[in-house]
Amino acid sequence: MSEPTPILAPGQFVPIGALSFGALGGPATEVTPGTPLPVGSVLPPAASAPVAGTTSASQVAGPFIPELGRPVILALSGDWSGAVTLLRSTDEGETTLPATLAGDALVWRGNAQEAIWLETESGASLWLDVALTGGALSYRIGQ
């Protein structure tokens, strides 16, 4: 078992200090597990324009241009049958490929409302490939 490395220069001691916070003119509040630093990030509303509509025919809807680093939310509703596949493009829609997770295409066959994607590449766009076999589908992809 080796000896711990000693703390040396510039001093042979560790000064006592406390981290606290508070409002100007108010009392200091010590930082503890019960009173953590009051920090967090709040993003302004997303400026990306959602893609939404209702259809009773197969179509490709888009493009949705996501803001980077924000979850993309998909909402599917209605009395419909078929499949909706998320497509992604990095060349303004000239080429679209299915978005995948662990090698499987992201496909929905029923109503849903969930976070589906987090884009990190500038210039990427998302599309919905709607392949209906019956009914009417309302869709929305946005942030």
- Letter for the amino acid at 125? S
Q: List pLDDT tens digits, range 28-64.
A: 888 888 888 888 778 899 999 999 999 999 999 999 9
User: What pLDDT, on the 0 to 100 scale, is given for residue 21?
Assistant: 77
List of domains in the chain = 51-142 (2.60.120)
- Quick: pLDDT tens for 80-95: 999 999 999 999 999 9
At 26, the pLDDT band (50, 70, 90 cuts) reads confident
What local confidence, expressed as pLDDT, does residue 13 receive? 59
pLDDT of residue 87: 98
